[in-house]
Structure 1
Amino acid sequence: MSESTDTKPEGASLHAPLARLLRPLVRLLVARGITFPALTDLLRELYVNVAEYDFALPGKEQTDSRVSLLTGIHRKEVRRLRGAGAPVSVVPAVVSRTSRIIARWIADPAFTDSQGQPLPLPRTADAGAPSFEALVSGVTRDLRPRAVLDEWLDRGLAFTDARDRIVLAEAAYVPRGDGSGEPQLYYFGRNLHDHIAASVANIVGDTPRFLERAVHYDGLSKELAAKLEARAREIAMEALQQANREAHAACQTDPGGAYRWNFGVYVYAEAAPPARPADER
């Protein structure tokens, strides 16, 4: 009996989705001068790290031979790379501080109006009254509110109105810049990690554990795509602000622990080439 020529290697079904997933990342790597050999070195280290820690057998010591078998990397290289530890994503101080202050400004009833929008704040005010000084001091005592304000005004995260009140700019909700800034790159890694991790957990788990859905339409005019993108931004911001308000309120009575939670959304539109018939692929 001859072996079927239709048999696909294990994992072959992942090739097409992986190519689609990796294409924009490769575009970023090429644009930033990260070469293929440099990426190969990183992937080799990650393969060893994941096999060593995520695929260890209960009650058994993970061996170089098993890591080599799982990864296809020579045992000599495995021995060199083992124990390096998983790359740690340290939250930049500016990201942690800024995100906590903004989260409070758009969630705490003391600093929002009746519609839940962030109030314009005077620089200072009497005790118990909302002010930018009270907002910052309630989050951190390590920095003077004036220093935070100067930084925000310089970065365009806030501006002053005609009454010299501090107003939160829309730009404060999303890190902006040329892509080289520390906050933007931090969120790039964290948010993509969590989205991919949720998708992978749903694939390898017995039942889908995380919500991971999208609404999508093809064959649209440029005008309709732009209109839907704008409306989707409005809907997304409403959902994010509501989630932030509820999470902020719940944290006031939470005893704390080792878990973290992330709720994210994305909106994307592009001019896509028409799909080819299956017999032409």
Structure 2
Amino acid sequence: MSETPDTPPQGASLHGPLARLLRPLVRLLVARGVTFPTIADLLRELYVNVAEYDFALPGKEQTDSRVSLLTGIHRKEVRRLRGSGAPVSTVPASVSRTSRIIARWLADPAFTGPDKTPLPLPRSAEGGAPSFEALVATVTRDLRPRAVLDEWLDRGLAFIDSEGRIVLAETAYVPRADGNAEAQAYYFGRNLHDHIAAATANVMADKPRFLERAAHYDGLSPELAARLEARARELAMEALQQANREAHAACQTDSGGPCRWNFGVYVYTEQSGSAQPSEAEGGKP
């Protein structure tokens, strides 16, 4: 990535990491037909928006000249773009509803077994016994449980077993590529945003605030890489389910407020061009 004469050293040091970070995103954009001029326009708007609101001086009005100085964008363009607001990803209603129902099914003791896994649920039950209808009713009464079930069966989020009970499918934990495109796009933006936001906060702060770590090994055989990926999936799901159970229990007595919390994990494996092993956290034996 080329450097401009006015780029400070600390900015120039980010060129390499940014190229690596952006490459998979550019691959997605090209694959989905999003052209460079479109992204350039979006970046220009984001630069102005961030400079206008995140870098305003306390007690002073942010001016076009200062935003132009911070961003390198001409004042005429700054004046046109200021106040337009950056695109914000709102939570689709179907995503919010589905995620809340699944989270409760995974965490609420009324709908989980002794091993803390989600129980297979009958469609309905009497006397307050656990059922799919009761589960949906704990989250929303605006939709009929049958409508929710039909949607989930169609998307592969649940299936019906030989006893006629509704079973939560493992694929429900993550939106599939052939499932709800709206949900997949939403979580793509949300999860990447939070990961990058945590890493950015750590780089900009004197002392890292957020936990953002990875165990990584290079120079592995395809067989070992596949085995480690499978084991990492198991560990990740255990951690996510435990975090969800504890958060659900804590929310029952929380007074509520303006904050949000996200606990995420990722696992990635690829065949790289280099076969030279590098040290990871803990080192490669």
TM-score range, shorter chain: over 0.9
Distance 1:178 1:21 in 2: 26
The residue type paired with residue 68 of structure 1 is S
1:104 aligned partner: 104
- Within a 5 Å distance, the mapping from 1:1-281 to structure 2 comes to 9-178=9-178, 181-274=181-274
1:4 aligned partner: none
SS at match of 2:167: strand
Report if aligned partners of 1:120, 1:166 keep a CA contact under 8 Å in 2. Answer: yes
The residue type paired with residue 38 of structure 1 is T
TM-score (norm 2): 0.92
What is the RMSD of the two structures over their aligned residues, measured on CA atoms? 1.4
1:86 offset after TM fit, Å? 2.8
Report if aligned partners of 2:64, 2:75 keep a CA contact under 8 Å in 1. Answer: yes
Report if aligned partners of 1:229, 1:269 keep a CA contact under 8 Å in 2. Answer: yes
Distance 1:14 1:26 in 2: 17
C-alpha distance 146-180 of structure 1, shift in aligned 2 (>3 A): closer
Distance 2:32 2:159 in 1: 32
1:274 offset after TM fit, Å? 1.1
SS at match of 2:59: coil
Report if aligned partners of 1:153, 1:159 keep a CA contact under 8 Å in 2. Answer: yes
1:65 offset after TM fit, Å? 0.2
Distance 1:8 1:64 in 2: 22
Distance 1:113 1:234 in 2: 19
Distance 2:248 2:235 in 1: 20
CA deviations 1:77-103 (Å, max 9, x no partner) are 000000012322100111100000000
Distance 2:85 2:8 in 1: 34
CA deviations 1:194-234 (Å, max 9, x no partner) are 00000000010121000000000000000000000000000
CA deviations 1:138-182 (Å, max 9, x no partner) are 100100001100111111110111110000001111100248800
SS at match of 1:199: helix
1:3 aligned partner: none
Distance 1:203 1:234 in 2: 30
SS at match of 1:167: strand
The residue type paired with residue 36 of structure 1 is F
SS at match of 1:114: coil
1:129 offset after TM fit, Å? 0.6
Distance 2:50 2:8 in 1: 25
Distance 2:56 2:207 in 1: 23
Distance 2:50 2:34 in 1: 22
Distance 1:238 1:153 in 2: 25
The residue type paired with residue 234 of structure 2 is E
Distance 1:179 1:47 in 2: 33
SS at match of 2:83: coil
Report if aligned partners of 2:159, 2:168 keep a CA contact under 8 Å in 1. Answer: yes
The residue type paired with residue 181 of structure 1 is A
SS at match of 1:216: coil
SS at match of 1:52: helix
2:4 aligned partner: none
User: What stretches of structure 2 of length at least 5 have no aligned partner?
Assistant: 1-6, 277-285
SS at match of 2:177: coil
Report if aligned partners of 1:179, 1:185 keep a CA contact under 8 Å in 2. Answer: no
1:254 offset after TM fit, Å? 0.4
The residue type paired with residue 128 of structure 1 is G
TM-score (norm 1): 0.94
User: What stretches of structure 1 of length at least 5 have no aligned partner?
Assistant: 1-6, 277-281
Q: Could you list the structure 1 runs, at least 4 aligned residues long, displaced by more than 3 angstroms after superposition.
A: 7-10
2:282 aligned partner: none
1:8 offset after TM fit, Å? 7.1
Report if aligned partners of 2:155, 2:180 keep a CA contact under 8 Å in 1. Answer: no
The residue type paired with residue 236 of structure 1 is A
CA deviations 1:219-275 (Å, max 9, x no partner) are 000000000000000000000000000000000000100000000000000000117
The residue type paired with residue 33 of structure 1 is G
